[in-house]
Amino acid sequence: MPSPQIDTDPIVSILNQIQQRGHSAYTIFEDWVELMLLGLQRRDDPYLEIVDDYSEPRDMDHSEGERTVDLFANAFGQLQKQMSETNADVLGAVYEAFGMSSDNFGQHFTPHNVCETMIEITHTVDEQPRNEGEQQVVIDPACGSGRMLLCAGHRIPEAVFVGQDKDPLCTKMTALNLCFFNLDGYAILGDSLTLEYCRVWQTNYSPLGGAVRELDDEQVQTLRKNLAPEADTNTSEDDVGVADSVGTPSIPDDTATEQQSLTVFQTEDI
């Protein structure tokens, strides 16, 4: 299957326009991602703090529609348009294209067609019948922009997708992508080798479109106990039971440690 043709130029040229106003490429991309994530969570105060950073007096010289905050909004509109046309990880593709001009960030993610093939050969699509309430869980412990999860999501949209990355920008892109593609999942910020969970965003499917929210500290620890019980040897059965109240996956012990590669396993209940 060929990779979808993603035209990143319209978005990159908008971000370049902001860069020409004296901001670094990394800051612009990071703020754009943060603005989208805060906007989707309706967290107005931190959103406006970022907007304020771009509202220096000379920004007001630009006509309406050309102010920096308008450019960020235009980039978001273009992102939505490209995603609806390609059904692909456009955000990750923009990161790849825009990051190439920066000394501070940039990496390449797995091409879409390779992701599709990997999902095929790892038998990610598990045809096993499930009990009512059970969902398959798909994990990528080094998720980047979450592209592998999105490709799996095309095949098994009813699964729960768990992405972990130690890079905050990547984790936030994964949270956005899971939300944009209306998938149930978790984007975990932390090192998957040390089973560290610093921050977690949960996304939820809804018929009206995806939702995203950041978990509080207690919910983060509960999720960690469920997904990585071996990380906390003092975990009591009572503690694990709390998971049900936040709707987190409860993973059987024998499979929870298999985080070496894209891994699929059954949940007891979610």
Ligand X SMILES: C[S@@+](CC[C@H](N)C(=O)[O-])C[C@H]1O[C@@H](n2cnc3c(N)ncnc32)[C@H](O)[C@@H]1O
- Which residue number places its CB atom closest to ligand X? 144
Q: Got the DSSP string for 39-105? A: HHTT-HHHHHHHHHHT--GGGGGSPTTTSHHHHHHHHHHHHHHHHHHH-S-HHHHHHHHHHTT-SS-
Binding site residues, ligand X, CB under 6 A: 107, 109-110, 140, 142-144, 147-148, 164-167, 170, 191-193
Residue 251: how many other CB atoms lie within 10 Å: 23
Q: 């809804």: which residue's tokens?
A: 206
Nearer to ligand X, 19 or 110 (CB): 110
Q: Closest approach of Cβ 48 to ligand X, in Å?
A: 29
Q: Closest approach of Cβ 91 to ligand X, in Å?
A: 12
Q: Closest approach of Cβ 188 to ligand X, in Å?
A: 9
Residues 6 or more apart whose Cβ sits within 8 Å of residue 73: none
Nearer to ligand X, 173 or 179 (CB): 173
Q: Closest approach of Cβ 26 to ligand X, in Å?
A: 15
CA nearest to 172, candidates 206, 127, 203: 203
Nearer to ligand X, 48 or 193 (CB): 193
Q: What is the 3-state secondary structure (H, E, C) of 142-157?
A: CCCCCHHHHHHHHHCC
Q: Closest approach of Cβ 125 to ligand X, in Å?
A: 18
Nearer to ligand X, 68 or 82 (CB): 82
